[in-house]
């Protein structure tokens, strides 16, 4: 039985760092284990222009504790008014790694997102030309579509038409939650990848709703039926380079989670790697953790794999970290429902 794994230092290809005091509280959890992360732009107000991304990047670097290294890979929040020249300039100077598409109203702070997908055509064409990837929150917001079907309907109604109209656009389907998402990614030869979160490998919708409602498991896209979780596990652990880790670690205070209209998001940055080692071991795929966490995303984004390494060791199972205190209030860490035997060595 293996009790040690050494990997090139992993990256997180989908992360919410927030801003101000919350950012200062959560950033060390990511920087401790990950070299780089694709940083989501859904602040209030959102990070829409290159100038805003420059200043957000500077705030992240200023919040990084002394002695820690971390490279934020910035993104722009796509709106119907996004200027293709601004995107091209930010991409050319190496400031942004991607642009993020939120359908308006799909999730936290998405009010400025896109309603009319025809209006973003010029910017998508420009991105295809310059090789700037589009990260997609893949859910329709049509109130007539059941929330558990919103990813599958998005693929048919929005994503596939975009990809047909702009075949050279490189797209990451963020945080896929369904077998439909897995199949769609596999159906494309090039230019399409997907991130998978840690929590969607662990929970299905029963964990949220059966035997009492558990707000800390509520995120978007919401976890689906067990057959979908199994499809995600097969995709993540199967060695296919089109699938890579994006935690979607999304801190909210308990006050905002445990409310009559609670926020969506699971905070997984502190315990993601031990949970992933557990999942990959269960699937008899520990040797594939390196691809999922450290290699496939870098390949998709055309970046070098990190030169340094981290080591995970297996010991006595113990409960993981339960919470962090922030000046805004307590943030509960995702509870995988099992003790953690794997630990990241110092």
Which residues contribute to the site for Zn ion (CB under 5 A)? 248
Smallest gap from Cβ 340 to ligand DOR, in A, equals 22
Rounded to an integer, what distance in angstroms lies between the CA atom of residue 5 and that of residue 2?
Answer: 8
Q: Which does 224 bind (CB under 5 to 8 A by kind): ligand DOR, Zn ion, none?
A: none
Closer to ligand DOR by CB, 71 or 174: give it: 174
Rounded to an integer, what distance in angstroms lies between the CA atom of residue 222 and that of residue 264?
Answer: 8
Closer to Zn ion by CB, 172 or 277: give it: 172
Closer to Zn ion by CB, 105 or 315: give it: 105
Angle in degrees, CA 224, 226, 228, rounded to 5: 60
Give catalytic residues, as residue numbers. Answer: 248
User: Which residues sit at the interface with ligand DOR, rule CB under 6 A?
Assistant: 16, 42, 107-108, 137, 219-220, 248, 250, 264-265
Q: Is 150 left (phi over 0), alpha (psi -120 to 50) or beta?
A: alpha
Bridge partners (DSSP) listed for residue 29? none
Q: Which does 107 bind (CB under 5 to 8 A by kind): Zn ion, ligand DOR, none?
A: ligand DOR
Q: Which does 340 bind (CB under 5 to 8 A by kind): Zn ion, ligand DOR, none?
A: none
Smallest gap from Cβ 240 to ligand DOR, in A, equals 23
Helix (H) or strand (E) holding 254: helix 254-257
- Which of 307, 297, 304 minimizes the C-alpha distance to 11? 297
**Chain centroid, CA 220 distance in Å:** 11
Closer to Zn ion by CB, 203 or 310: give it: 203
Closer to ligand DOR by CB, 264 or 305: give it: 264
Q: Where are the beta strands (DSSP E) in 49-159?
A: 71-77, 96-101, 134-136
Instruction: Determine contact, residues 80/122, Cβ cutoff 8 Å.
Output: no
SS3 letters across 2-51: CCEEEEECCCEEEECCCCHHHHHHHHHHHHHHCCEEEECCCCCCCCCCHH
- Name the residue with the smallest CB distance to Zn ion: 248
Q: Which does 139 bind (CB under 5 to 8 A by kind): Zn ion, ligand DOR, none?
A: none
Which two three-digit tokens encode residue 205? 């919708």
Smallest gap from Cβ 311 to ligand DOR, in A, equals 30
Smallest gap from Cβ 177 to ligand DOR, in A, equals 10
Backbone angles phi, psi at 41, to 5 degrees: -100, 15
Smallest gap from Cβ 157 to ligand DOR, in A, equals 19
Q: Which does 18 bind (CB under 5 to 8 A by kind): ligand DOR, Zn ion, none?
A: none
């Amino acid at each position: 039985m293996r009790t040690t794994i050494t990997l090139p230092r992993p990256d997180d290809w989908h992360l919410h760092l927030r801003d101000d005091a919350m950012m200062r509280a959560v950033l060390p959890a990511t920087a401790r284990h990950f070299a780089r992360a694709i940083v989501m732009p859904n602040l209030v107000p959102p990070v829409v222009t290159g100038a805003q991304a420059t200043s957000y990047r500077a705030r992240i670097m200023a919040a990084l504790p002394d002695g820690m290294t971390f490279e934020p890979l910035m993104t722009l929040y796509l709106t119907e008014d996004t200027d293709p020249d601004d995107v091209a300039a930010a991409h050319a100077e190496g400031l942004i790694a991607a642009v993020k598409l939120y359908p308006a109203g799909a999730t936290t702070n998405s009010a400025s997102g896109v309603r009319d997908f025809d209006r973003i055509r010029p910017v998508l064409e420009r991105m295809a030309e310059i090789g700037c990837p589009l990260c997609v929150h893949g859910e329709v917001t049509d109130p007539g579509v059941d929330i558990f079907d919103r990813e599958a309907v998005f693929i048919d109604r929005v994503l596939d038409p975009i990809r047909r109209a702009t075949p050279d656009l490189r797209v990451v389907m963020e945080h896929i939650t369904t077998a439909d998402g897995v199949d769609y990614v596999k159906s494309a030869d090039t230019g399409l990848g997907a991130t998978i979160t840690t929590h969607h490998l662990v929970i299905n919708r029963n964990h949220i709703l059966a035997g009492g409602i558990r707000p800390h498991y509520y995120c978007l896209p919401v976890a689906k039926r067990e057959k979908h979780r199994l499809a995600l596990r097969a995709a993540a652990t199967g060695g296919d380079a089109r699938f890579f880790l994006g935690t979607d670690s999304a801190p909210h205070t308990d006050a905002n989670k445990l409310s009559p209209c609670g926020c969506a998001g699971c905070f997984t940055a502190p315990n993601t790697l031990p949970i992933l080692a557990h999942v990959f071991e269960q699937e008899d795929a520990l040797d594939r953790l390196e691809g999922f966490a450290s290699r496939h995303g870098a390949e998709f984004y055309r970046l070098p794999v990190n030169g340094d390494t981290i080591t995970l060791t297996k010991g006595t199972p113990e409960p993981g970290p339960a919470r962090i205190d922030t000046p805004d209030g307590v943030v509960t860490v995702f509870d995988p429902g099992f003790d953690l035997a794997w630990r990241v060595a110092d």
